[in-house]
């Protein structure tokens, strides 16, 4: 019984140590969510402004020229997938949900007869594709928790370079963005959106502060005209969209990690309670056994004395 009691106490000590770690990670993730939300709010005015300008430029009658970034290509052959996952684990099913959505999107694109070219952000996506011996030539990592605009620009430039090259030349004909949108501390949702060719109808809805996209577009003059405006504007818009997705993903990652660590802490509490009950039962059984041995020994001595 003594060995069993020592084993229970050792396990309780181990679980207590693990609980301290998960609790600390939960608090750290909670504090980082606040900072991530602040970064999302700080980037929102620029995203809304550039979205309003793009909406105005692509409105019917404003620019009458077809542009590669807004006009679907005939007979597309290859599509790119931008997957934003995490660099670290301990975030529950955060990265797994993104990778699952990527696999579903890949299957849908293949049904359309399109090959896929991945653009991977985060070590989890890189490990997933490397393990399956897939293309990992376009991969970035090391900044999933604190992405910068330069990181988004690097991804955006790679995407645009392949898109301009075209599927017939080994590039891509369209790009799909897959990330986790941060709605609130308790709600995050995996989003699959077509990034380019740009569909004006799929642009984010206007806000009350979005002056560029409201009013009389016929009174606006653009210089340079036509394709020159889109050549200068849309690459910046693509980078802004990717950066906004990275910020959403960073906040979602911390929310998922906080939730996972809270669950681990709660499970540790329950396990400690169960182990404590088992240890008390083992201790009580040990005491009862010792009492029975003492009583038995006393009765044996008493029987020996009376026989003499």
Residues 6+ apart with CB under 8 A from 18: 264, 268
The tokens describing 157, both together, are 């430039």
* CA-based nearest residue to 147, from 258, 249, 37: 249
Q: How far is CA 241 from the centre of its chain?
A: 16
DSSP string, 291-305: HHHHHHHHHHHHHHH
| Residue 8: predicted pLDDT | 87
pTM of the model: 0.82
State whether residue 117 is helix, strand or coil: strand
Confidence of residue 201 (pLDDT cuts 50, 70, 90): low
What does the pLDDT look like over 211-266, one tens digit per residue?
Answer: 444 444 455 666 666 667 777 888 888 899 999 999 999 999 999 999 999 999 99
- Residue 168 reports pLDDT greater than 50: yes
Alpha-carbon gap, residue 221 to 62, rounded angstroms: 9
Alpha-carbon gap, residue 28 to 150, rounded angstroms: 26
What does the pLDDT look like over 129-162, one tens digit per residue?
Answer: 999 999 999 999 999 999 999 999 999 999 999 9
Confidence of residue 124 (pLDDT cuts 50, 70, 90): very high
What does the pLDDT look like over 266-288, one tens digit per residue?
Answer: 999 999 999 999 888 888 887 88
Residue range 43-50: mean pLDDT, rounded: 84
Alpha-carbon gap, residue 75 to 36, rounded angstroms: 41
CATH fold of 30-260: Pyruvate Kinase; Chain: A, domain 1 (3.40.1380)
């Amino acid at each position: 019984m003594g060995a069993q009691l020592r084993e229970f106490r050792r396990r309780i000590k181990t679980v207590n140590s693990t609980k301290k770690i998960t609790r600390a990670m939960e608090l750290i993730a909670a504090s980082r969510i606040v900072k991530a939300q602040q970064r999302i709010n700080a980037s929102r005015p620029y995203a809304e402004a550039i979205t309003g300008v793009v909406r105005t430029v692509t409105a019917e009658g404003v620019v009458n020229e077809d542009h590669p970034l807004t006009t679907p290509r005939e007979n597309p052959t290859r599509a790119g997938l931008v997957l934003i996952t995490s660099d670290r684990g301990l975030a529950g099913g955060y990265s797994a949900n993104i990778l699952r959505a990527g696999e579903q999107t890949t299957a849908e694109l293949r049904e359309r007869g399109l090959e896929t070219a991945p653009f991977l952000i985060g070590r989890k996506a890189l490990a997933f594709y490397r393990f399956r011996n897939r293309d990992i030539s376009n991969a970035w990592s090391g900044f999933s928790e604190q992405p910068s605009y330069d990181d988004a620009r690097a991804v955006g430039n790679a995407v645009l370079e392949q898109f301009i090259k075209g599927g017939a030349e080994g590039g891509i004909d369209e790009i799909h963005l897959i990330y986790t949108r941060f709605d609130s501390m308790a709600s995050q949702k995996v989003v699959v959106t077509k990034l380019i060719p740009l569909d004006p109808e799929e642009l984010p809805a206007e806000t009350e502060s979005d002056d560029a996209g409201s009013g009389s577009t016929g009174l606006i003059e653009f210089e340079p005209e036509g394709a020159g405006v889109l050549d200068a504007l849309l690459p910046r818009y693509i980078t802004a969209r990717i950066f906004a997705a990275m910020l959403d993903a960073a906040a979602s990652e911390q929310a998922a990690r906080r939730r996972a660590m809270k669950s681990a802490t709660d499970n540790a509490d329950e396990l400690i309670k169960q182990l404590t009950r088992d240890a008390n039962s083992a201790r009580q059984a040990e005491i009862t056994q010792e009492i029975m041995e003492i009583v038995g020994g006393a009765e044996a001595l008493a029987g020996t004395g009376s026989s003499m």
